[in-house]
A and B are shown apart, each in its own frame.
Chain A
């Protein structure tokens, strides 16, 4: 009899402890065991690197975290070549704003090269049109 009681208590404990993975990202009571997204440490800017042909190049990866890595690109006026790689399972579609250019749909594993030519200094956002409202966006700062 005591053994049965002990088993019940142990199993109950195991359940409540295992609760974190049991109940998904929102977790157990009071948010215990919730899955937290990594807080953005503030975007660390990356400079596009000019090649011998004068074109500035940068590679950006898109993942299932619905973020662009890096999300902040600095460049000088001229032609900037972006290589976008989709490393996740979800499709993405990056569109530049304020300047013509976009990847079109990028399925899982796909990549696309986009050249934009910017004469005016300023900030040009490039969101993923599918996941914009989830905060998936990047900025090109031309100075």
Chain B
């Protein structure tokens, strides 16, 4: 019964990049002709190839049609966005979608993927791609087979290089020696319980089992070519961290002499043994495994950990019968001893010793008491915490009156990043976006004064403080209401007001023209960009007017737009906002908890422009929605266009709104469930080389003018908006029929503002 109840971890848990223990062996010969500094090797037990280039010249890896696929050289590694291999090689079994824009015959578009001169890829020429064995291998799996010879081509300057390799089936050893070792350990543990005092030895065995699982995990971590978190994930990433403390508790209790802790130890043992058997037992009879440990040691550790785990389960009956006091009502019933049982008398003596004297430590009842108090405490704490966060707290302000949680929410203006980019993560209800052009005679001092004034204004308004102006009363009595003011610099600012054109970052270029778009230049671009957002329309209007007034001849408004979302409190905060098409918008946004969130949204600390570190690029597009046409589609047609259900936002492949879309899912008739031209498919980072942005869209609706004020933040538009938009248009995004991009602008928002600093100070005072 015990084993059946144990949850089983997925078999993939101990794979490295899709490869577990296997008899397939990929080997690669040297690159010919030999070039000093170039090394090619097989990594992750055959899952990937790795090319390192310590030479000064770039080496180009050729794809399946002989096209340039990847480039490795002194300035890092690049992939060709036009090579189908770029998409195919992202997955071990090439379950990918190659965008229509990619073609082996197009000139390469290089995209940097690594600053180190090293590149690793799943090359499908080099490993077994089917999910069934080759027929000849299946009929005689104990024999060696050469399955295929493969070669990969490279160019090094004008030189052509080749690496030849082989895919073979190498039969594994007999698992029987390990089965015998395992059986011996099980028998040993059971025999141990016939001895007078097995408690401490069993405790040591429990610890040894945990150590065995850790050593095994460390071996896998060593085989992973990747980041430290990925390596740690191999050791701690699944059930282990849950079960180890319980196992150690069991060991401690056994050490203290509690015979009944064998139940706990056996539970942990069954769990660890079953998950290791499911994940790793093939190690015993296959010829290779992804692990940094010598394979014999790995097999030994596995046999010890599984043997102890199963042995603890097998030891439960005798342990209870011989060492647990029989007087307890919930103890096991006393079983008639068989003839072979030695010295029942001794056993009785042991029983007394097994239950420690009250002075020797906490008694069993006390322990139960502690556990109960602890559990009650946790429940009480959780309840109080939930009620605190769930209730609508009324916060008193300095002026006395109580504000609702909508009004009282303040977003810190100072910090390592500007507010309004990722904070608050649930975007506000109202927005005003504007662009300003500098006056031709504006000097750098004028610009410094303007940004200083904007800084003071933003600082006061985000705290809900008056500014000392005549119109302060417009917002009298209102709280900060999550007001944020975010400032960005347009590409055209550089070269004006004494800021050298050369200071413009490469990524801050006007967006390229996209096919078919008709933009209104008067409502596009601009030298300075401002985004003001809050949960209240009056606050936004007041801030917009105050900030505009401060430009005072230094700059003039080029364009301004307003937008809205559902008011805070009108619906649940946990819901993703909807746009005027009725679709949830932003479900697949990067989340702050994602490990790559910062990397995708914020300019890294290594950026050459120090004013931009911790900053972000904003793309603004006013997108008109042709709602009359859209409304003519039925629900199902609309869902096919987007790729999500209209009611709950779930991808058409099923699940909930936040379930990852399954782009390979097929419906009746073999058609993909999420159509090939569905908006979410073409916009997803997975099909755009990971390009992602944090979209903070707002709706606009002024009579016939209806649509989406698309605001998207990203670390670099060349790896964010630009490739995604290209893919949407190039692959025939179904949504494009119903929308028109009317305006366009891009701004670089500098990093956060420290106390005593003004926005963009590091740019304006370095030049």
Q: With A30-B285, A35-B131, A105-B102 as given contacts, are A130 and B94 in contact (CB-CB < 8 Å)?
A: yes
Interface size class of A (residues with CB under 8 A): 35 or more
CB <8 Å contact, A1 and B95: no
- Contact between chains at A26 and B133 (CB < 8 Å): yes
Instruction: Verify if B470 is at the interface (C-beta below 8 Å from A).
Output: no
- B residues within 8 A CB of A30? 141-142, 285
Chain A 20-36 per-residue mask, 1 if CB under 8 angstroms from chain B, else 0 = 00111111111100111
Q: Judging by beta carbons under 8 Å apart, are B285 and A5 in contact? A: no
Q: How far is the CA of A25 from the CA of B332 in the complex (A)?
A: 44
* Chain A residues positioned under 8 Å from B148 (CB to CB): 133-135
Q: Give the chain B neighbours of A129 by CB distance below 8 A.
A: 64-65
Nearest chain B CB to A93 CB, angstrom units: 7
Neighbour of A1 across the interface among B150, B167, B321, CB < 8 A: B321
* Cα-based distance from A66 to B133 in the complex (angstroms): 12
**Contact string, A52-70, partner B, CB cutoff 8 A, digits 1/0?**
0000000000001110000
Give the size of the chain B interface in residues (CB under 8 angstroms): 65
Q: Interface readout for A76-111 with B: 1 if CB under 8 Å, 0 if not?
A: 000000000001011101010000000011011110
* CB–CB B64/A93 < 8 A: yes
Confirm or deny: A37 has a beta carbon within 8 angstroms of a beta carbon on chain B.
Answer: yes
Specify which chain B residues have a CB less than 8 angstroms from the CB of A135 in the assembled complex.
Answer: 148
- Of the candidate stretches A7-15, A42-50, A115-123, the one touching chain B is A7-15
Query: A26 touching B22 by the CB < 8 A rule?
Result: yes
- Give the residue name and chain of the B residue nearest to A31 (CB): B141
Q: Of B131, B313, B321, which is within 8 A of A8 by CB? A: B313
- A40 CA to B138 CA in the complex, in Å? 13
Q: A109-B672, A134-B148 are in contact. Are A104 and B97 (CB under 8 A)?
A: no
Given contacts A91-B97, A130-B64, contact A37 B281 (CB under 8 A): no
- The residue of chain B having its C-beta at the shortest distance from the C-beta of A36 within the complex is B138
**Could you tell me the distance between the alpha carbons of A108 and B84 in the complex, rounded to whole angstroms?**
14
- CB nearest to A102 among chain B residues: B65
**Chain A residue at smallest Cβ distance from B274:** A15
Segment from B121-129, B218-226, B629-637, B752-760 that makes contact with A: B121-129
Residue ID in chain A nearest B65 by CB atoms = A129
With A1-B317, A89-B95, A93-B64 in contact, is A26–B282 under 8 Å at CB? yes
- Tell yes or no: B664 within 8 A of A by CB: yes
From residue B102, how far is it (CB to closest CB) to chain A in Å? 7
Q: Which residues of B contact A105 (CB under 8 A)?
A: 84, 98, 102-103
Residues on A with C-beta less than 8 A from B4 are 7, 11
Q: Is the CB of A133 within 8 A of B125?
A: yes
Closest Cβ–Cβ distance, residue A142 to chain B (whole Å): 24
Contact A25 B133 (CB under 8 A): yes
B335: chain A residues at CB < 8 Å are: 1
Interface residues of B in 305-342 (CB under 8 A from A): 310, 313-314, 316-317, 321, 332, 335
A37 with B64: CB separation less than 8 A: no
Q: Which of B128, B142, B274, B282 contacts A134 (CB 8 A)?
A: B128
A7-B4, A131-B129, A133-B150 known; A91-B94 Cβ under 8 A? yes
Q: Are A40 and B65 in contact (CB under 8 A)?
A: no
Pick the contact of B332 from A1, A15, A23, A87 — CB < 8 Å? A1
Q: Are B130 and A39 in contact (CB under 8 A)?
A: no
Determine whether the beta carbon of B98 is less than 8 Å from that of A89.
no
Bound state CA distance, A93 and B98, in angstroms? 11
- Chain B residues positioned under 8 Å from A23 (CB to CB): 11, 281-282
Chain A residue, CB-CB nearest to B3:
A11
Bound CA–CA A30/B142 (angstroms): 7
A77 → B minimal CB distance (Å): 27
A93 to B94, CA, bound (A): 13
Q: Which chain A residues border B2 with CB–CB below 8 Å?
A: 4, 7-8
**Contact, CB under 8 Å: B321 / A37:** no
Q: Which residues of B are found within 8 Å of A29, using beta-carbon distances?
A: 174-175, 284-285
- B129 near A91 with CB under 8 A, answer no
Q: Is the CB of A93 within 8 A of B93?
A: no
CB of B512 within 8 Å of the partner chain: no
B23 within 8 A of A: yes
> For B332, what are the chain A residues with a Cβ–Cβ distance below 8 Å?
1
Determine whether B88 belongs to the interface, using a CB cutoff of 8 Å to chain A. yes
Find the A residue at minimum CB distance from B103: A104
* Candidate in B2, B3, B134, B138 with the most chain A CB atoms within 10 angstroms: B138
CB of B286 within 8 A of CB of A26, answer yes
Of the candidates A5, A24, A87, the one whose C-beta lies within 8 Å of that of B11 is A24
User: A84–B28 Cα gap in the complex (Å)?
Assistant: 33
Shortest distance between the CB of B46 and any CB in chain A (Å): 13
- Chain B residue at minimum C-beta to C-beta distance from A104: B103
**Min CB gap A95→B, angstroms:** 7
Q: Which of B22, B88, B126, B316 has the most CB of A within 10 A?
A: B88
- Residue-wise, chain B 277-295 has the 8 Å CB interface mask toward A (1 for contact) of 1100110111000000000
Residues on the A chain within 8 Å of B672, using CB: 108-109
Q: Does B296 count as interface, using CB distance less than 8 angstroms?
A: no
A95: B residues at CB distance < 8 A:
65
Q: Name the one of A7, A8, A65, A109 contacting B130, with C-beta atoms under 8 angstroms.
A: A65
Selected contact of B135 from candidates A25, A37, A90, CB within 8 Å: A37
Interface-centre pick from A26, A27, A29 (highest chain B CB count, 10 A): A26
B97 touches A31 (CB 8 A): no
Contact of A35 among B11, B133, B314 (CB under 8 A): B133
CB neighbours (8 Å) of A109 from chain B are 666, 670-672, 676
B residues 137-151 in Cβ contact with A at 8 Å: 138-139, 141-142, 148-150
User: Which A residues lie within 8 Å of B22 (CB)?
Assistant: 26
Residue from B1, B135, B670 in contact with A38 in the complex, judged by beta carbons closer than 8 Å: B135
User: Residues of A contacting B96 with CB < 8 Å?
Assistant: 90-91
Minimum CB distance partner of A135 in chain B: B148
Asked if A34 meets B103 with Cβ closer than 8 Å, knowing A66-B129, A91-B84, A129-B64, the reply is no
How many angstroms from the CA of A34 to the CA of B142 in the assembled complex?
A: 12
Residues of A close to B316: CB separation below 8 A: 4
Question: Could you say which residues of chain B place their CB within 8 Å of the CB of A24?
Answer: 11, 20, 282
Determine the distance from Cα of A29 to Cα of B173 in the docked complex, in whole angstroms. 9
Cross-chain contact of B676 among A5, A107, A130, A131 (Cβ < 8 A): A107
| Bound-complex Cα distance A38 to B96 (A) | 25
Cα–Cα, bound, A89→B671 (Å): 10
Q: Residue B132 at the A interface, CB < 8 A?
A: yes
Asked whether, in the complex, the Cβ of A40 is within 8 Å of the Cβ of B98, the reply is: no
Residue among A35, A37, A110 with max Cβ neighbours from chain B (10 Å): A37
Bound complex: CA A65 to CA B133 (Å)? 11
Give CA–CA (A107, B20) in the complex, Å: 28
> Considering the chains assembled together, what is the distance between the CA atoms of A135 and B125 in angstroms?
10
- Chain B residue numbers with a CB within 8 Å of A40 are 135
Output the least CB separation between B47 and chain A (Å): 14
- Give the chain A neighbours of B314 by CB distance below 8 A: 5, 8
CB distance from B166 to the nearest CB of A (A): 11
Task: Name B333's closest neighbour in chain A (CB-CB).
Answer: A1
What are the interface flags for A120-143 relative to B under an 8 Å C-beta threshold, 1 for contact and 0 otherwise?
Answer: 000000000111111100000000
Distance A35 CA – B134 CA, assembled complex (angstroms): 9
Interchain CA distance A129-B98 in the complex, whole Å = 14
Further pairs besides A1-B317, A34-B138: 10, Cβ < 8 Å: A8-B310, A22-B11, A29-B175, A31-B142, A35-B132, A36-B132, A39-B139, A108-B666, A132-B64, A134-B148
User: What are 15 pairs between A and B in contact, CB < 8 Å?
Assistant: A1-B321, A1-B332, A8-B3, A24-B11, A25-B131, A26-B23, A31-B142, A36-B135, A37-B130, A38-B132, A38-B135, A64-B131, A107-B676, A131-B124, A133-B125
Among all A-B residue pairs, the 4 with the closest Cβ atoms: A31-B141, A36-B138, A39-B135, A37-B132
